[in-house]
Amino acid sequence: LAKTTQPISMDSYEGQEVNITCSHNNIATNDYITWYQQFPSQGPRFIIQGYKTKVTNEVASLFIPADRKSSTLSLPRVSLSDTAVYYCLVGEGAPGGYQKVTFGTGTKLQVIP
Amino acid sequence: KAGVTQTPRYLIKTRGQQVTLSCSPISGHRSVSWYQQTPGQGLQFLFEYFSETQRNKGNFPGRFSGRQFSNSRSEMNVSTLELGDSALYLCASSFRGIGTEAFFGQGTRLTVV
């Protein structure tokens, strides 16, 4: 299993762009990277997923360098409601197939007014 | 559409007892995966079921088991409960598997005394 490492916590002011990096040095060729957001007393919520280069959706962007040993979740113009824990997940195997999953330790993002 | 439903939401059990938790996935989803979340260990993958078959398993002792029914509802069982089993147990439902977008329930908070 690819071990992942994330910063334990981050602070940001409202309106700023936030970048959270996840290290996964032992990622395998067919592994994918997925990010989830979790609020207190709730289950995690899917944010974005990618294999390589850049993926963008309506809420975030995911940057994966060529060596795939890390990935960066980018949240544009955060608001107070983005205060949550963000998890990086690395899965072995193609999406939908046989796979093991490893969650990162999570990054607690605190957005400051 | 209805989300993922986990029952019960809260549970208190005594050491040595066994417990069964239930998860009803989103209609049409065939994959149900289970996770244990504790402050010390974070989110840990237990196992995944797809179309009634256990497709993957994390590194948990045999006291943790599960099953999935033909309607995709899943149950998780923990036998001979230990104090360290106190945790939030989350299930996630997805169409193709955890590597794709998954929807989590609110979890069952298990306290072992």
Q: Which of A88-97, A99-108, B47-56, B62-71 has the lowest mean pLDDT?
A: A88-97
The pLDDT score that the predictor gives to residue A2 is 64
Averaged pLDDT, B104-112: 96
Whether B79 shows a pLDDT value over 60: the answer reads: yes
Of B4, B43, B99, the CB nearest to A91: B99
Cβ separation of A105 and B42 shorter than 8 Å?
yes
Structure tokens at B4: 């993922």
The answer to whether A76 and B37 are in contact (CB under 8 A) is no
The pLDDT score that the predictor gives to residue A12 is 97
Measure CA A46 to chain center.
10
Inform me whether the C-beta atom of residue A95 falls under 8 Å from chain B C-beta atoms.
yes
pLDDT band at residue A22 under the 50/70/90 scheme: very high
Measured at the CA of A31, the angle between CA A29 and CA A34, to 5 degrees, comes to: 145
CA–CA dist A91, A76 (Å, integer): 26
Total number of residues shown for chain B:
113
